Amino acid sequence: MPTVYVNDTPVEIGNGKLNCIQAAGLGGVLVPSYCWHEALTVVASCRMCLVEVGDRKPDGTIVMQPKVVPGCQTPVKDGSVIVTGEYDKRNPAVAPLNYPADFLKGGKPGERAKKSQADTLEGLLINHPLDCPVCDKAGECKLQDFSYKYGRSETRMVDDKNTPPNKPQISSKITLFTDRCIMCTRCVRFTREISGTAELTVTGRGHHEEIDVFPGRPLENKLAGNVVDLCPVGALGSKDFLYTQRVWYLKTVDGVCSGCSTGCSTHTDTNKDIVYRLRPRVNPQAQGHFMCDDGRHGYHFANSGERFLRPQVKTDGRFQAASWAQVTPQLKQDIGAAIGQNPGGVVVVLSPFLTVEEAFLFATFFKGLSADVRLALGPVPVIGEDDRYPKDVKGQPVEPVKFTIRAEKCPNRRGVEAVLSHFQGSVIPFADLVRQDLAAMWFAGGYPFKEHLEAAFPADWKAPSLLVAQDLFPTLLTASAKYVLPATASFEKEGTYVNHAGLAQTFPRATRPPQEARTELQLGFDLLGRRGLVQTATIRAEVAAAIPLFGPIGGAVVQNGVKVGT
Amino acid sequence: MPYEPVLLARINKPDSPKLEGYRADGGYSTFERALVDLKPEQVVAQVKDSGLRGRGGAGFPCGLKWTFLPKDHPGPIYLCVNADESEPCTYNNRILMEKDPHQVLEGVMLACYAIKSRKAFFYVRYEYGDAFRTLTAAVNELYAAGLLGENILGSGFNLDIVLHRGAGAYICGEETGLIESLEGKRAWPRIKPPFPAIEGAFRKPTIVNNVETLACVTQVMKRGIDWFKSLGVPPDPKNPRDAGSYGPKLYTIAGHVNEPKCVELPMGITITDLIEQHGGGVWKGRKAKAANPGGLSMGFVRADEFHMPLDFNGPGRFQCLGLGTAAVTVIDDQTSMVDVLHNTCQFFAHESCGQCTPCREGTGWMEKITDRLRRGQGRKEDLDILIDVADRIGIMPGTTICGLADGAGWPVKTAIRKFREEFEGAIKSGEKSKYAKTLRVVGAH
């Protein structure tokens, strides 16, 4: 097994092609960096990741390079020796390597790297305004963090700083605080390599260099928001999030984006049960490092004031608010009666926004009432075609594809389909029964965009006499329903989504549902008449036991999800 | 006996840039002979054995560079001619291109034959409009005469020379910066490895050579190794890594001398001799105070160090970076070193490409400090800060991608170390330089 020595400690690196930053990371040593990013090309220009490197020869002698090298650009191989600026914090239990005398003449191991990193930080701060108190990045800023950890406490700079004007006009979604930029060029490389749209560029030279767009070509592509995450400092800011929250108030929970069937892994940042920001979470199995702007800004519906907040029952043509304690038995009675009369005329629609666990509980409940009740898959919104990146100058996708925004704008078609196939052997698409004359319909929706739902209904659609509509927003469906139940957004529930490629990702709850809304899982639990608290993990285990496809998700939650199909 | 110039032998002849004139002086016969009699490997061997070192600044052995190309590469292999001569006070390439372009072009053709390149890119800096036009005419003549193009002189050797006019930046003279610029990108030097010989222009193996080096290639092939080695300074026997400083060299003399000019001399002349014998002495009867041995980026020497030989090893012994372009800039004793240093810092801050943090911020910072010094607002600690910044930026400490930062740091640290009393005096007196603009308010941050 190839082994490298990170601050004297042997670390096995496997067979991957790694650079010094990655190899040190395997040994638990952080090598700070700004310009280097796993998904982008190496430019080795920020000079924050400087390390001392050498080789351990088979006979045990060490040969070291006399100068510091950028860790990001230096590949490691069997026997590589890496000495970082934090050499003095190495594991004291490990015997130090026998560094050659000519190397030690230039200073103790790690001294050169440490000084170079402190020098780099001093350089970066020469023209960086110290406006942290009003900067949105403060608290999650790499320049703050690294200055604190690796920098010097005082600057020797007494001259005027450069103060280039800000550029809020570079994009409708993103603003540029030019003076805070440290020229790592991650954003420029992102638009060239990942989105392919190449809107951003570097203008000027030397310390007057700036990030800018070309005249008349603002940064407007569907992946643009990622440059804000890539920016290690507060130069690029998302206009959506700007000045809404200080980041140290935010609670971050892992999530899965419900915007399309790619199912990007996300960080959901919330405070006091309000979602403020979504950021991509690195998941090589799902989407990689990034996410699209539709998904990123697609959380606003959850904070909307138009949402249903409590159950409503239509009496004498008017909706009356009701409590769950009233509604649940009433629902059971009405739907039971309808099934008793004509089980074949009762349809339960499970939308692709439900989690696997929710769909499973609903299906269990209704199939338990009568095997003749039909379960259907809710309308699957498909908007346009899959949007693949990077794009060339003409907007055509280029191979290899690095990011895809899928046309299927729902997170869990495959999961709900698997549940439906398990219970009735086949999946009935919603289009097959939208024109049928039905006795009763239970519609478990949860569509964030009501136009996606309403597009599936013909203009002359006639509602069945008993319609139970569960959704987030008022639609033509809820207007003709007898019972309107509030649905919950993906942030408000815990569960599992299966993406387009069969990746089942289980995610925890990020916020509590508003007011009296209850999760679909709780409702299914109540309908089934089960007692105690609803535990998603218990139900997931039940799903895994019942449906062989979901066998792998029954146990402990796997961070990046598990493949349950292809 | 005065030295008879070889590289500059034809520059004062009428019609020296014309093909007819060049052929009348025996031009292209070397190339024609090489095509028939010599294998490419033999040309490489002859250049390598001559000990010709690159004239662009770093002094890397030219033939050795050629051997770094991958063996049996299916091609294409490119030659880039570095005519982006931007080092302050340097104009030796310009004279060659404007007055004797065919000598350079023959060198290009020989080099291409040696490295099996079918295409050469001639990167001329934008400001050299005359050189560009002269070269264009010369290349057109060569195509018309069948010396360029397909199947040259029936030998089966094809060669195209593409003239490219740069868009003006000092950094385009760095070989990978030049390649990036040639590819139509921002001239940001590339990280190495891979070196251009493995992956250069358009991701193909590429050799980048200086104009004067290629003119020397012509003469090495024409006159032979013995002639070349009869000139210059042999290697230091005590230093096994020294490749010697053989051959003729174009020296340019600029600054405060009576006759600024470009002269060709065997390597190893001293600065004193250069000024007195060729530059007509220091102007206005004054005395010299300092000089740059080879372009601004090599650092400064004091007048008492003028016995320094201008070969590849000499400047290093006097704390300078190297020979550089062998452009000697003389500074007289009535010029303030504070002003000179500020001018230097301003140049490098302006020309830093801005890619690596230490150089981008370091050059800017040094400019601001020296600007403050000449306003009479210097502080004692500023000199140490300047030396510290100058010491830590560059490819030698390992903090930048290319050597521009070394060139920016060297003049600063040599100036302050060698003229410290003058700087300290200026700080103490608080006198404002007559060249300084109106004062700005300087405050702490």
Question: Angle at the Cα of A302 (from A300 to A305), degrees rounded to 5?
Answer: 90
Segment among A135-139, A294-298, B43-47, B428-432 with least mean pLDDT = B428-432
A166-170 average pLDDT score: 95
Q: What is the dihedral of CA A236, A239, A242, A245, to 10 degrees?
A: -130
B192 at A interface, C-beta within 8 A: no
pLDDT digits (tens, 9 = 90+) for B197-213: 999 999 999 999 999 99
Helix (H) or strand (E) holding B79: strand B78-83
Q: Chain B: nearest CA to A160, how far in angstroms? A: 6
Question: Does the pLDDT at position B187 exceed 70?
Answer: yes
Q: Pick from A9, A12, A25: which is nearest to A94 by CA?
A: A9
Separation CA A561–CA B111 (nearest Å): 59
Chain B residues within an 8 Å CB radius of A46: 356-357
Interchain proximity A159–B368, CB inside 8 Å: yes
Interchain proximity A207–B364, CB inside 8 Å: yes
Interchain proximity B364–A126, CB inside 8 Å: yes
Instruction: Determine which of A51, A119, A189 to mutate to test the interface with B (most B C-beta atoms within 10 Å).
Output: A119
Mention every residue, 6+ apart, whose C-beta is less than 8 A from residue B226.
Answer: none
Separation CA A422–CA A413 (nearest Å): 14
What are the DSSP calls for B36-48, one per residue? HH--HHHHHHHHH
The burial class, CB within 10 Å (0-12 / 13-18 / 19+), for A248 is exposed
Of B182 and A461, more confident: B182
Which own/partner pairs from A61-64 qualify as long-range (CB within 8 Å, at least 24 positions apart)? A61/A98, A61/A100, A62/A97, A62/A98, A62/A99, A62/A100, A62/A103, A63/A100, A64/A99, A64/A100, A64/A103
Chain A residues within an 8 Å CB radius of B188: 45
Interchain proximity B352–A205, CB inside 8 Å: yes
Q: Rg (Cα) of chain B, in Å, rounded?
A: 22
Interchain proximity A202–B396, CB inside 8 Å: no
B51: left (phi over 0), alpha (psi -120 to 50) or beta: left
| pLDDT tier for residue B1 given thresholds of 50, 70 and 90 | low
B362 at A interface, C-beta within 8 A: yes
Question: Does the pLDDT at position B443 exceed 50?
Answer: no
Q: Chain A: nearest CA to B349, how far in angstroms? A: 6
| DSSP H helix total and E strand total for chain A | 15, 26
Question: Does the pLDDT at position A431 exceed 80?
Answer: yes
Residue A139: predicted pLDDT: 94
Burial A148-186 (b: 16+ CB within 10 A, else e): eebbeeeeebbbebbebeebeebbebbbbbbbbbbbbbb
Please check whether residue A131 is in contact with residue A39, taking contact to mean a CB–CB distance below 8 angstroms: no
Q: Pick from B355, B435, B411, B394: which is nearest to B88 by CA?
A: B411
Burial B11-33 (b: 16+ CB within 10 A, else e): beeeebbbbebbeeeebbebbbe
Residue B437: predicted pLDDT: 66
Mention every residue, 6+ apart, whose C-beta is less than 8 A from residue A316.
Answer: none
Instruction: Give the distance from CA B349 to its chain's centroid.
Output: 19
Please check whether residue B418 is in contact with residue B406, taking contact to mean a CB–CB distance below 8 angstroms: no
Residue A449: predicted pLDDT: 92
Residue B14: predicted pLDDT: 86
Residue B421: predicted pLDDT: 95
Listed in sequence order, the DSSP H helices in B17-100 are 19-24, 29-37, 40-50, 62-66, 92-99
**Bridge partners (DSSP) listed for residue B246:** B232
Separation CA B377–CA B429 (nearest Å): 10
Q: Chain B: nearest CA to A146, how far in angstroms? A: 15
**Bridge partners (DSSP) listed for residue A321:** A312
- CATH 3.30.70.20 applies to domain A121-300: yes
The burial class, CB within 10 Å (0-12 / 13-18 / 19+), for A133 is exposed
Question: Does the pLDDT at position B440 exceed 80?
Answer: no
pLDDT, mean over chain B: 92
Q: Which CATH class is domain A3-114?
A: alpha beta
| pLDDT tier for residue B445 given thresholds of 50, 70 and 90 | very low
Interchain proximity A207–B398, CB inside 8 Å: no
Interchain proximity A73–B191, CB inside 8 Å: yes
pLDDT digits (tens, 9 = 90+) for A226-276: 999 999 999 999 999 999 999 999 999 999 999 999 999 999 999 999 999
In angstroms, the first-to-last Cα distance of chain B is 63
B346 at A interface, C-beta within 8 A: no
Separation CA A13–CA B228 (nearest Å): 52
pLDDT digits (tens, 9 = 90+) for A330-375: 999 999 999 988 888 899 999 999 999 999 999 999 999 988 899 9
A161 at B interface, C-beta within 8 A: yes
Residue B238: predicted pLDDT: 86
| pLDDT tier for residue B438 given thresholds of 50, 70 and 90 | low
Residue B442: predicted pLDDT: 47
In angstroms, the first-to-last Cα distance of chain A is 32
Helix (H) or strand (E) holding A484: strand A483-486
Distances (CA, A) of A474 to A173, A448, A470, A477, A512: 29, 11, 10, 8, 21
Question: Does the pLDDT at position A170 exceed 90?
Answer: yes
Q: What is the dihedral of CA B228, B230, B235, B237, to 10 degrees?
A: 150
Residue A435: predicted pLDDT: 83
Between residues 72 and 91 of chain A, which touch chain B (CB distance below 8 Å)?
73
A509-517 average pLDDT score: 90
Nearest residue on chain B to A185, judged by CA atoms? B355
A292-314 average pLDDT score: 93
Question: Does the pLDDT at position B444 exceed 50?
Answer: no
Please check whether residue A335 is in contact with residue A370, taking contact to mean a CB–CB distance below 8 angstroms: no
Picking from B353, B371, B400, the nearest residue to A205 by CB comes out as B353
SS3 for A321-390 is: ECCHHHHHHHHHHHHHHHHHHCHHHEEEEECCCCCHHHHHHHHHHHHHHCCCCEEEECCCCECCCCEEEC
A378-407 average pLDDT score: 92
B393-409 average pLDDT score: 93
Residue B368: Cβ within 10 Å count = 22
Q: Name the amino acid, one letter, at B419.
A: F
Listed in sequence order, the DSSP H helices in A39-110 are 101-105
B113-123 average pLDDT score: 96
Burial A406-417 (b: 16+ CB within 10 A, else e): bebbbbbbbbbb
Picking from B350, B399, B445, the nearest residue to A68 by CB comes out as B399
Question: Does the pLDDT at position B441 exceed 60?
Answer: no
Chain B residues within an 8 Å CB radius of A126: 361, 364-365
Please check whether residue A516 is in contact with residue A311, taking contact to mean a CB–CB distance below 8 angstroms: yes
Separation CA A523–CA A325 (nearest Å): 11
Separation CA B310–CA B55 (nearest Å): 13
Chain A residues within an 8 Å CB radius of B362: 123
Separation CA A179–CA A171 (nearest Å): 17
Separation CA B261–CA B252 (nearest Å): 6
Instruction: Determine which of B181, B203, B355 to mutate to test the interface with A (most A C-beta atoms within 10 Å).
Output: B355
What's the token pair of residue B101?
A: 């372009």
Residue B99: predicted pLDDT: 93
pLDDT digits (tens, 9 = 90+) for A14-62: 888 999 999 999 999 999 999 999 999 999 999 999 999 999 999 889 9
Residue B354: predicted pLDDT: 93
| DSSP H helix total and E strand total for chain B | 16, 11
A312-489+512-532: what fold?
Rossmann fold (3.40.50)
Question: Before B88, cis peptide (omega within 30)?
Answer: no
What's the token pair of residue B118?
A: 């079918």
Please check whether residue A429 is in contact with residue A453, taking contact to mean a CB–CB distance below 8 angstroms: no
Length of chain B: 445
Question: Does the pLDDT at position B364 exceed 50?
Answer: yes
Question: Running DSSP on this structure, what letter comes out for residue A541?
Answer: H
Q: Chain A: nearest CA to B355, how far in angstroms? A: 6
3-state helix, strand, coil in chain A (%, to 5): 30, 20, 50
Domain boundaries, chain A: 3-114, 121-300, 312-489+512-532
Picking from B349, B354, B440, the nearest residue to A183 by CB comes out as B354
Domains, chain B, in order of start with CATH, read 19-231 (3.40.50.11540), 252-332 (3.10.20.600), 337-429 (1.20.1440.230)
pLDDT digits (tens, 9 = 90+) for A469-479: 999 999 999 99
pLDDT, mean over chain A: 93
Picking from B363, B397, B398, the nearest residue to A206 by CB comes out as B363
Residue A554: predicted pLDDT: 86
